[in-house]
Chain A
């Protein structure tokens, strides 16, 4: 310690000297203060909690989601028990009319809980292992239908076009296409409107109008999404039905094109919901463009529109792209609007007039009922959740990277 030297050498008694006399030589070294340290550590714990939250999210989604790929959906073999199976029996006799059983096949008898595994084949008589994977052993009466298990694979999950894990249809694509359809509709609405609003607010609006319009946009961001969902179902859908279902230019025969639930209505309202997100980030990036660029453009005799399109938008492009990506990410993760207005039941379609369930809508609907822990549905929603998390996480990161890059240019 450089300070200590002159203090010790001078004859003057300083306050520090008096306080530390006879205690420790290196008086100005850090004191050990237990209370201060404890507080420091507990504050650190609060800070690190966010890391734990992230880790917990990743762990939970990954562990329960990956377990999905060890699970089976069950399909009808059209085989029936020709002799009833008591709890002790290990010999299974079937009538042999449907698809044949094979070795190591996991079967259910009549949708009961017990899973059995087929071991040895002798035509229509099999030896079975009872109570596979700790399922409870039950008795099964004669004539019960037998179901065989089919395991979910990552390949089928990512490429299959049917989603119904209970009956071994593991394709997540229907949920993804509907998520993308609603999100794209939302972006088509919110992109131009949000950007237009941002341009107006940052370049045109007189300051008094600006102070009125900005809070209104923020108000739009504060409305609960369930209210937007209600708006979609009770306001937007009837209007769309009036436009597209009634006979006219768009629909000469007056066909029933739009039902109560459709992706268009959900997408449009979701677009309204993300206008504030896109507007506020785009506006930030527009106002970050140095005014010298504007002035140079006006100095050349350019009109305001020419300045906006030829100078400001290219300069703020990265920020605007970031805003759009963040908007998509918001739309992909939004639940209540699609749950209420887009309809229940996965459907592999990109036709916005149809009803189809999105990833978030499916997760919410499945967990609505009495979802039992460890059922295939439970694991299935975590597999979907993991997919959703990866999608939004990547979108957010890309958006942040792009935004930071543009900041470096002008700040």
Chain B
């Protein structure tokens, strides 16, 4: 700035503007202020990044860490060696030893589920699975502990046996847990605290995110609960929401871009779609509650499956939730699909009309194939928004403790974000760790959906170019 011409042709009253030394001082001050604001603006734009880092760190911090475990039977009393160094046979002996006659029940729960009819023969119950042939005609309820242990030896790997021993013999209870960073820094303090407060407990590292958590059933205990039901529910709702919103959204977009005359009505539809995108999601939940749950479900029996012979007559079903979610993401799906269709060059359309194709033939054979990558990408991105939505599903009735896997679209459901909420609001501290583990699963699901969107876009783009 200092090399700007100080004199120019326009005559200026020289006493009105600062000159020379004074000008330089003022300019330096102005530049200082400018730099300061530049730094402030920079900080503002980095705060988002900092928040993101803190958010992820917090989740990681809560997912891993030290836990104080109290065992029903201490692992060191079972064997002089660490359990995972024992052979399968030794594990089976320990199991038979400690569980005794209850082994039949333990095995039934682990293998056949609570519903199995134990008055049936081994042959019927195990069908395709390996079992000692001489036991085939014995009724399950009459098997001896020895025989059960024999079948378990044939069916289970060492890891599975270890899991059963942990669940039914050791029965660990996590009496206290510490976040990762605190555990790393203050281990001696934690040890001292344990020794004083819980002399029976032992200190262990634990990852709350593990295979038994992701694949396990929902229980009311933080140390055994699992995410599989919520995962199943989320997947059901993703698939149904896509099936409902894809045709409706693309249909609306095609109408608005290719067919709609420039009338007040189509303007109204356009404006309305943009306004709908701004309606709070919980309002959609209330719409779902009043229309899909109450009117179509409770009153008419459609979404509760009553008219189709389903016995569970509550309208708080997967289909109600999916319909609600479809309506919620529809505006965004339409807007994205419109953009994708608009991006198709009009020369393609004109060429199609030129060879005598009708409007629909042009749309179906020319416009939609070219717009597909854009439409699918937009759809998946809006679905991934729906996957994280919690409030509308709470209102529609997803916050119930369910014990049965959803088998059809009329069943009750729960989804991952609802479990995150319900675990977060539990008073027991360990549920916060469980919630953090569930958040990681949710984020992984979202990232993979987004990755799918990117892959689809690239694939189709290459495919279309290839043609």
Contact = CB atoms under 8 A, between A and B. Distances in A.
B5 to A, nearest CB: 11
A333 B283 contact: yes
B206 to A, nearest CB: 17
Nearest to B179: A234
Interface in A199-220: 199-201, 203-205, 213, 216-217, 219-220
A187 to B, nearest CB: 15
Interface in A270-327: 272, 275-276, 279, 301, 303-306, 308, 326
Contacts of A40: 259, 359-360
Interface stretch (B53-61, B91-99, B162-170, B184-192): B53-61
B282 A335 contact: yes
Interface string B221-248: 0000000000000000000000000011
B48 A216 contact: yes
A56 B287 contact: yes
A272 B432 CA distance: 22
Nearest to B4: A301
B219 to A, nearest CB: 20
A56 B397 CA distance: 20
Contacts of A235: 54-55, 58
A388 B283 contact: yes
Contacts of B358: 33, 36
A226 interface: yes
A224 B418 CA distance: 11
A95 B209 CA distance: 63
Contacts of B281: 333, 335
B30 A47 contact: no
A217 B331 CA distance: 22
Interface residues of B, number: 90
Contacts of A364: 282, 391, 394-395
Nearest to A196: B44
A5 interface: no
Interface string B267-278: 011001111101
B439 interface: yes
B436 A230 contact: yes
A392 B279 contact: yes
A340 B298 CA distance: 30
B276 to A, nearest CB: 6
B290 A397 contact: no
B53 to A, nearest CB: 10
Contacts of B353: none
Interface in B329-386: 330-331, 334, 358-360, 384-385
A51 B272 contact: yes
A329 interface: yes
Contacts of B37: 305, 308
A367 B276 CA distance: 23
Interface string A45-68: 111111101101100110010000
A205 B436 CA distance: 35
B252 A43 contact: yes
B237 to A, nearest CB: 14
A226 B275 CA distance: 24
Nearest to B436: A230
B244 to A, nearest CB: 11
Nearest to A397: B275
A36 B41 contact: no
A229 B424 contact: yes
A332 interface: yes
Contact of B41 (A47, A61, A204, A306): A204
Given A50-B252, A60-B290, A230 B439 contact: yes
Interface string A24-54: 0000000001011001101111111111011
Contacts of B40: 196
28 contacts: A43-B252, A44-B255, A46-B255, A47-B255, A49-B252, A50-B252, A51-B272, A53-B276, A193-B44, A196-B41, A200-B41, A205-B45, A216-B48, A220-B52, A222-B388, A222-B446, A228-B55, A230-B59, A230-B436, A230-B439, A231-B58, A306-B30, A333-B282, A335-B282, A340-B425, A363-B282, A392-B283, A393-B279
Interface of B: 1, 4, 30-31, 33-34, 37-38, 40-49, 51-52, 54-55, 58-59, 62, 247-252, 254-256, 259-260, 266, 268-269, 272-276, 278-287, 289-291, 294, 298, 327, 330-331, 334, 358-360, 384-385, 387-391, 394-395, 397, 399, 417, 420-421, 424-425, 432, 435-436, 439, 442-443, 446, 450
